[in-house]
Amino acid sequence: NMKEFTENAAHEMQTPVAVVLSKLELLLQDDNLKDEQVQSILQSTTALRHLSKLNEGLLLLAKIENNQYETTEEINLVEITKRYLHLFDEFIKEKELIIRTNFDDQFTIKLHPVLAGSLIANLLGNAIKYNYNGGTIEITVSKNNFHIGNTSMLDPIPADKLFTKMNSSKDKQESSNGLGLAIVKKIVDGNNLHIIYHGQNGQHSFDIRKS
């Protein structure tokens, strides 16, 4: 009942949040606004976008927990990774990150396309978000192992907080909704995969392995 309630609540929140965002964006087009009014509206839109991302994450978690994604399709994580490297290219260039890839083999798994996209988007997104300017991201793929590692100024994530819902990093970035790794763990656990985290000396990495 709680899973069903979470899904319904998250779904019902989408429309009013979208309506408020659109109204605020219309207000920003008013040339008569004072600077402090513009700043207040911008802060409000930022908070609402964060709420919208949080809502999307909760809805995805609820759907995963309710087994709404059938895993009938063979997915190649190399192809998904290449797609998201292209989609995140602007953010990668902005932080002047060095990307090293080794795609010598294909990591294929039966996984719903939505979940495969979410898995890679969260892992790669974190590697970019919590990296520093001029840092590196390394992605190595073999038949049974998918490895993504990145440099970071942040301390290693404690084991008891690693995949906890709503756990955010110490830097309190507004773009973080604290659900990314919880979603990753749900996807992995529900699809015969294992995930291992390692953090040491400014290096953070995740390895996804087949059972």
pLDDT tens track for 65-109: 778 887 778 999 999 999 999 999 999 999 999 999 999 899 999
Mean pLDDT of 155-167: 79
pLDDT tens track for 97-129: 999 999 989 999 999 998 999 999 999 999 999
Cα–Cα distance for residue pair 138/132, rounded to 1 Å: 14
Q: Residue 173's pLDDT is what? A: 43
Q: Residue 207's pLDDT is what? A: 97
Task: Enter the tokens of residue 178.
Answer: 């604290």
Q: What value, to the nearest 5°, has the Cα angle with vertex 158 and ends 152 and 159?
A: 125
Q: Report whether pLDDT(51) > 90.
A: no
pTM, whole model, 2 decimals?
0.76
Backbone φ and ψ of 76, nearest 5°: -100, 110
Give the distance, in angstroms, between the CA of residue 49 and the centroid of all CA atoms in the same chain. 15
Mean pLDDT of 123-147: 96
Q: Report whether pLDDT(175) > 50.
A: no
